[in-house]
Structures are given as structure tokens and as C-alpha cells.
Structure 1
Amino acid sequence: MIPLRPAPARPAPPESGPGESKEIKEPLWRDLIGEVLRHERRAQDRTLKDVADAARISLPYLSEIERGRKEASSEVLAAAAQALGLGLGDLLSLAHGELTRRTAAYRRPATAPYRSYDGLCLAA
């Protein structure tokens, strides 16, 4: 007997076990911003209380921002940056630099390598 319909293709088994991902995830923006704020504050030998008071935000909230637990509004980030003598653009630029540094090792090339196309082109 010959089947009229081909058997459905079986899915390929996963190459990695459950929970294992070969894809490297980029860091969260709030983590980068928090790390930059903490680095700048420590570089100036300032306390959380000092910066929180200057920025007019609560000390626990600033601590949570630095630890990447909270996503602060642009107003809060601008106030924290200003308290550290930075502009909002400076803060974002420093965070972007850190993101670039961390992801450079596994980033895809900007352009795909050249491959010939052996397809058929039809004109209308």
C-alpha cells in the first residue's frame, strides 16, 4: 500500500536542553542606567543620601534605581544626573557606551556577507 499523503514532518529535536538558550540577552536599560548612576556617584565619593537630597528624590527610590529594580521617569533620571553634575544626554551616552562595550563581542555584523543569488527573476 502506498500512502497518498506524506507523513507529517517531525520537528527537529532541540539542540540545547530546556531552559538553556544559546542566544545572549542584552542587558536591561534600567540595569545599565543604574550601574552608570552608581559608578558616577562612587567616582565622586558621594553617598546615596547626598545625591538623593540634591536630586530631591527619596533615598530608597534612588537605591532601587541604582540596583535596576525601578524604571525611573525621564524627570527623575534628569534630576539624578544633574545632582551628579551630568546632563540627561551625558547619562544616556554613558549607558549607551556601556551597552556597546558589553554587546560588542556577540553583535551581528552590520552588513550580511555577500552571497550569490541563483534564483529566477521574472519581469512583468
Structure 2
Amino acid sequence: MPAATSPDRAGPDEAPSTHFPRSGQRAREPLWRHVLGEQLRWLRHERGQTLIDTATRAGVSPQYLSEMERGVKEPSSEMIAAVAGALDTTLIDLTSGVAERLRTIRCMAASGPRCRAAYALAA
């Protein structure tokens, strides 16, 4: 994924996450819908689209798209495909991005900053 251009448009890997445990707590894996929402919002911002632009292109309401991006809704595969199309991406690219973000979160929770540096070097 391209590097983020500003702090308010951080890519999914740079986005602040509440999924990391405090000391002494066990890491909790994030829900898929939350990571999907982060990915959708990042893609939308990367493409310079507003919520209304993307929702109109996808044939969904802006409220529904907002709920998807916030991880409130568990969207159907048809809805995910519609939004992916509106963002000029494929389902495989979108879901691969979500899976990679989940791997990164797991790695960071298990190994801390050292693992994140390894991902940065691999890129």
C-alpha cells in the first residue's frame, strides 16, 4: 500500500489501534468488520472521495457506508462488492488488504515494534 500522505489520512498500517492489550492483558484479535471498515475508509481517502461520492457510486446510503467504515455493520458480500467497485478495487484486493492488516495486528501484538520493523524492511 502507498504511504500515507498526512496524519489524518494514515494508511491501515499506520492507523492508531485499540486492539493492543495493556501490560499483563492478553491480546484480543479485532473483529473482521472493524478492520474492513478501516480499509474501506483508507481506500476512500486515498482516492479523494467523500462518503457521499462513494455511497452514491456503490448504491448504498451514506449512513450505511459510514456504519460499515466504523465497523458497526456486518455487511453482506454484495454490499462489500458494491463498495469495492465504487472504490475501483476488487474483492480480492480488498480482502487481501484486510487479511494483511489482521496479520500485522497479530504480529505487533505478539512481538511489539520489532515485528513492525521487519514488515517495513520486507516492503
* Same-fold call, TM cutoff 0.5: yes
**TM-score of Structure 1 vs Structure 2, range by shorter chain:** 0.5 to 0.7
* Coordinate RMSD, CA, aligned: 1.7
1:31 partnered with 2:51: no
* 1:89 Cα offset (Å): 1.1
Deviations 1:14-71 (A, max 9, x none): xxxxxx9721101110000000000000011100000000000111000000000101
Runs of 5+ consecutive residues of structure 2 not aligned to the other structure: 1-22, 112-123
Within the alignment, does 1:58 sit opposite 2:61 as a pair? yes
Corresponding residue for 2:78? 75
TM-score by length of 2: 0.68
**Where does structure 1 lack aligned partners over 5 or more consecutive residues?**
1-19, 109-124
1:93 maps onto 2:96 in alignment: yes
Higher alpha-carbon deviation: 85-94 or 20-29: 20-29
Mapped to 2, the partners of 1:103 and 1:94 lie a distance apart of 14
- Which residue of structure 1 lines up, in the alignment, with residue 47 of structure 2? 44
Task: Summarize deviations over 1:68-91 as a string: whole Å, max 9, x none.
Answer: 010100000000001001111111
Which of the two has greater helix per residue? Answer: 2
Q: What is the TM-score normalised by the length of structure 1? A: 0.67
